[in-house]
Structure 1
């Protein structure tokens, strides 16, 4: 399967991996162009994608210390990436005792466009549909859900509840109705097909800092979508042979091997 990495998504992944300084210093536009070129993205595509991210309120134009044009993360973008880190890099095993978070919403007919936005956003956060107007996700997703709804100003339409499953249907059967587990499993398998060979290649013969940067950013750009499609269900609720754990282990190994090695190329092109 040929994987699609959009310029906009790669820019978000780049900021998430290498663009968060303690003082939120901007990345120069010239550096964005250099770093994205390694991934096959030309300069006009970088500039147009940055403009879209600016319009969405995720990037802010700023001058670097030497006066060059650059872009820094907005406060919303920093919160978005911090929330994403908890999903993307988590090593904790989900437990049934973590419980669930329920989202119940009601949107006036005059604002029905927000109803679609709510459904879309809850789905992208990993919620499944338990009943019309009732969405469910593992309890660990509560904080990120609250931050997202507040950022989008959708919180007045939603009530969030914590709870545990008491019956009557077996929960393992219920999750098969609430989420499309076959589709989620396929996403994990596709990630493994594309990136497990990359891990084997690095294990056999380490490459350059430029190669590490390229392979890590592509793996991160693929992986960071999966913890949103897959809400992180406890193992006892999943089908036998679930590939999610193996996919997480492959990404974890690539992160450990490549992230810091790639940082050398980000800091200095001479490390290529």
Structure 2
């Protein structure tokens, strides 16, 4: 797992429930237990600070890091997706995000694509992404945070043709790859899960 992904997991599952703040020394030691080096952890923290996910506080010569308001939103969204039990009834509307970001801001364009993918959007064309979920507010927050609102448009619309919803999903998401990842996850943790469940 990448250092930044692991940091989100640690903050989302543990740190935010125990004071929301952690000393850098404790954080690097904890991440070390997962095979991540201190330079890699510090680089990831620095990157997350620049991106607005974390905030820092100095106490003497010690640095403490907590999740920013933007980061808290991200963690709440992730928790809602991970632990969601009930399936929403689809209203037939597609949330569409379309962008035209200039080449000189390519890094931001690539970041936007990653963020849209993380939210669950599927790529209809290179610069047009769709989702059956109403994620317009999240896309607005994202584009405002990156200061790229002038390059992005957001729509909520019905699909009039020609693919049916199932075909459209197959065009925009690699369903086989997604299923393979779910299977790999289940295969990796099934035995341990069953052992722990038997002890309860």
The bucket for the TM-score relative to the shorter chain is 0.7 to 0.9
Matches within 5 A, 1:173-192: 173-192=167-186
When residues 18 and 120 of structure 1 are mapped into structure 2, their CA distance, relative to the original with a 3 A threshold, is closer
Give the TM-score normalised by structure 1. 0.61
Higher relative contact order (CA 8 A, sep 6+): 1
| Aligned partners of 2:108 and 2:146 also within 8 Å | no
- Residue 196 of structure 1 aligns to a residue whose secondary structure is helix
Q: Which runs of 5+ in 1 are unaligned?
A: 207-272
Matched, 1:172 2:137: no
- Deviation string 1:91-120 (CA, Å, 9 cap, x unpaired) is 231433262101122335665665444444
Shift of 1:182: 0.9
**Contact in 2 for aligned 1:103/1:158 (Cα 8 Å):** yes
**Structure 1 residue 178: deviation in Å?**
1.6
Structure 2 residue runs without a partner (length 5+): none
Q: Distance in 1 between matches of 2:107 and 2:38?
A: 35
Corresponding position of 1:14: 10
Say what the alpha-carbon RMSD is for the aligned residues: 3.0
* Contact 1:118 1:154 (C-alpha < 8 Å) held by counterparts: no
Q: Compare the two structures and name the one with the higher strand fraction.
A: 2
Q: Note if 1:80 corresponds to 2:74.
A: yes
TM-score scaled to structure 2, two decimals?
0.80
* 1:58 partnered with 2:80: no
Which whole-Å CA distance do the structure 1 matches of 2:5 and 2:107 have between them? 25
Instruction: Report if the CA contact (8 A) 1:59-1:77 is conserved.
Output: yes
Aligned residues: 200
Counterpart CA distance in 2 for 1:69 and 1:109 is 37
